[in-house]
A and B are shown apart, each in its own frame.
Chain A
Amino acid sequence: MTDVSPTLAPPAPAPDRSAPPTPAARGGQARRLLALARRDLPATVGAVVLLAIVLAAVLAPWLAPYPGDGSHATHPLDTLAGPGGRHWFGTDAVGRDLLTRVMYGARTSLTVAAAVLTVSALVGVPLGVIAGYTGGVVKDVIMRITDVFLAFPALLLSVALATVLHPGTGSAIIAISVGWWPWYARMACVTATGIRSRGFVDAARCLGVSRIRIMARHVLPNALTPVLVQLSLDAGGVILTSAALSYLGLGPQEPTAEWGLMVQQGQDLFITDWWVVAFPGLAILLTAFCFNVLGEGLRSALDPHRELTR
């Protein structure tokens, strides 16, 4: 097309991997994803299991064997039945099907995780980008505020807040978010500080782009990769924290199905009726673990140094 092609042409007639993609190559995105999936098996398995958990949560009213057991229902004649044909995960002290309650519990846990991470990212990332890009006094003020929040152990802060607020799903979300957003502010600040000195930001300024637009269109999109990784890594942590809060009775209340709450209610029965604790506990473990594996996978997949280290 032009006389600059020498820089583009591969030196040898190698396969045209390095050739610029044509519009037709857009469909190659799916293939790229598949190639990535094959390279990182644990992350892929994690993602698939998570997808199954999300589906089970979303479709619980239709999939669960005893949808009524997700909340109020009690079955006095069927209490503490062991795992078996009718109740795969057994029943709890008031006779509710534990498989059903674990599925409904996934709804609660995933909702809390999604809400906390959304709030944290929506509050923290813009603040961090503003701090990192603007620098100076603005950065100092924003970062000192986050430092104040980070000075408290996050779990203690959440426990204290949840105690003050009326216990329930909403307060659990607020309580956990308050301890969580500063991490996103700090991370976005560090990333934005690095991006500020990159050529395209200077170029945008030289083209007369306003501060706000530079932050929104040039700094923010380039700061999102680490945020995405962190979100995935943190989802497991939020689920653990939310389980801890409900275990302490500070989260969602009976009859809402919540894994931490179920563990707490079943702990006295553990010796005699292990399934009451084991299945919700395993659900917490599995979900948190899958998010971590997926997060690690994303981290290495999106890491610019990946090609060198692998």
Chain B
Amino acid sequence: MTPPRSSLTVTDLKVRAGEGEDARLLASLPHLDVAAGTCVAIVGESGSGKSTTLHAMLGLTDGLAVSGRIMVGDTDVVTAPEKALTTLRGSRVALVSQSPQSSLNPTMRLGTLMRRVLARHGIRGAVARQRADDALRDVMLDPELLRRYPHQISGGQAQRFAIALAVALRADVVLADEPTSALDVTVQAAVLQLLDRLRAEHGIALVLVSHDLAVVSRIADHIVVMRHGHVVESGPAADVLGAPAADYTRELLAAVPTLGE
């Protein structure tokens, strides 16, 4: 990719619910650096603050207190005004959610959704059509799908479509929140492969959130293990998987069913 891609840098991120003495820490991330073209995985069980962290990266933390810095390129998501954030969402940071089908409006055809989302970010007409076609080809979806409603496609197709949206918008940073947990095993592998390929081809900074070490071990360069809102371990994937420092990571690793061995 020719244009330089902005990366994601998080410093001293703390997300709290409530105020003052009663404040409860939901997530804390001292440092995270996702360079363009790399994949960082955040691993932890449900309630460990993974999704909250992702939403903080989009500036979508209704009623929660966020401190620290989340830099996307030269924009600080924590302090940026709402207007700048709505532009940033989608066009620079895109989210691929854990339940692909329910994240599509049932009353809107996929093509309409694609067209409107692109138009929202100033991409219209022939350019928009070209982008949509390219993106669909990139995720290996038939353009015919654009005429369908969400209930007429499969979960795997819906997830590919969500990824296609991110690709069409040329998002620099893609946040994948348990992108495979709602899919069956064969489709899981395909979607992971797809994310991995797009990361390499488009130089996307990919943040993969999962409770499943087996999933992240396939594509992550760097792994952050979270528990109860705190980072218990962080390091290159090979180190974390090969020689885990924290007991909790060892527990998680022990819980992974070994596949294909």
Contacts and interface: CB of A to CB of B under 8 A. Distances in A.
B87 A208 contact: yes
Given A208-B87, A217-B116, A7 B155 contact: yes
A202 B89 contact: no
B140 interface: yes
A76 interface: no
A199 B157 contact: no
B218 interface: no
Contact of A7 (B90, B105, B187): B187
Contacts of A198: 102
A207 B102 contact: no
A200 B89 contact: no
Interface in B77-131: 85-91, 94-95, 97, 99, 102-108, 116-117, 120-121
Contacts of A271: none
A205 interface: yes
A3 B90 contact: no
B42 interface: no
B86 A217 contact: no
Contacts of B120: 207-210, 213
A207 B89 contact: yes
B168 to A, nearest CB: 11
B62 to A, nearest CB: 9
Nearest to A9: B154
A6 B155 CA distance: 11
Given A206-B60, A222-B107, A21 B89 contact: no
B50 interface: no
Given A200-B104, A222-B107, A206 B95 contact: yes
A200 B103 contact: yes
A1 interface: yes
Categorize the interface residue count of chain A: 20 to 34
A8 interface: yes
Contacts, number: 98
B2 to A, nearest CB: 24
Interface in A1-17: 1-4, 6-8
Contacts of B108: 217-218, 221
A23 B94 CA distance: 31
A308 interface: no
Nearest to B60: A205
A74 B165 CA distance: 71
A134 to B, nearest CB: 11
A147 B106 CA distance: 32
Contacts of B46: none
A214 to B, nearest CB: 10
Categorize the interface residue count of chain B: 35 or more
A4 B156 contact: yes
A155 interface: no
A203 interface: yes
B19 interface: no
Which of B60, B88, B105, B121 gathers the greatest number of chain A CB atoms within 10 Å? B105
Contacts of B201: none
Contacts of A209: 86, 90, 116-117, 120
Contact of B152 (A7, A21, A221): A21
Interface of A: 1-4, 6-8, 20-21, 23, 198-200, 202-210, 213, 217-218, 221-222
6 contacts: A1-B141, A2-B141, A199-B99, A199-B103, A200-B104, A208-B120
Interface of B: 58, 60, 85-91, 94-95, 97, 99, 102-108, 116-117, 120-121, 140-142, 147-148, 152-157, 160, 162, 165, 169, 183-184, 186-187, 190
Given A6-B184, A21-B148, 8 more contacts: A1-B142, A3-B190, A6-B187, A7-B187, A199-B102, A203-B97, A209-B90, A217-B108
**Sorted from nearest, which 9 A-B pairs have the closest CB atoms?**
A4-B156, A199-B102, A203-B103, A208-B89, A207-B90, A208-B90, A199-B103, A206-B95, A221-B107
